[in-house]
Amino acid sequence: MAAKFLDIKQMMKAIDLRDRQWYNNLPPEEKKLYSPYMTLKWSASVNGDRFFKEHYIEMTNELVNKNLWTLSKNHKGLLWKLNAICGATVTQFHQWIYPKKKTSSTKSKMKELQAIYPNAKQQDLDLLDKTMTTKQFTELKKQHGIDK
């Protein structure tokens, strides 16, 4: 039975040691599992010395990130070689960086405050949102004819 994921540790070691043939040596089933985006995310994050952190971030951004979406469909081998060039020839610890959670920029209370005070600064609305009690907010909505 084929694995659902590539071995991340093995892949990151290949990048660190600049193994440009690693992707070509994968069996066809594992080539299908290769994701240039995931490789970019993993290779750009290094724990340890500041020099290596900066090296990996700068190199992956310059060589891989700029053309990732253009090349990712038909040129996975090329993207692998670009990722391999980013290696520092020293094995590093690569840590996954979780994507930021999507947060709604405005809560329902904030939307109503923005409707009541359209010319107010966001900072002032945030302060109102934090300091106003539910009772005060309900009274304010009644004064402005908001039934919700």
Top-confidence residue, 127 or 147: 127
CA atoms of 31 and 92, how far apart (whole Å): 24
Q: How many CB atoms lie within 10 A of CB 104?
A: 8
Tell me the average pLDDT across 96-113: 72
Please compute Rg for the chain using Cα positions: 24
- Give 2's pLDDT tier (boundaries 50, 70, 90): low
Report domain extents, the chain: 8-94, 108-143
Could you tell me what percent of the chain has a pLDDT over 70? 92
pLDDT of residue 48: 85
Q: What is the DSSP string of 88-119?
A: -SS--EE-PPPPPPP--SS-HHHHHHHHH-TT
CA atoms of 77 and 22, how far apart (whole Å): 9
Tell me the average pLDDT across 11-33: 94
pTM above threshold 0.85: no
Burial class (CB in 10 A: 0-12, 13-18, 19+), 78: middle
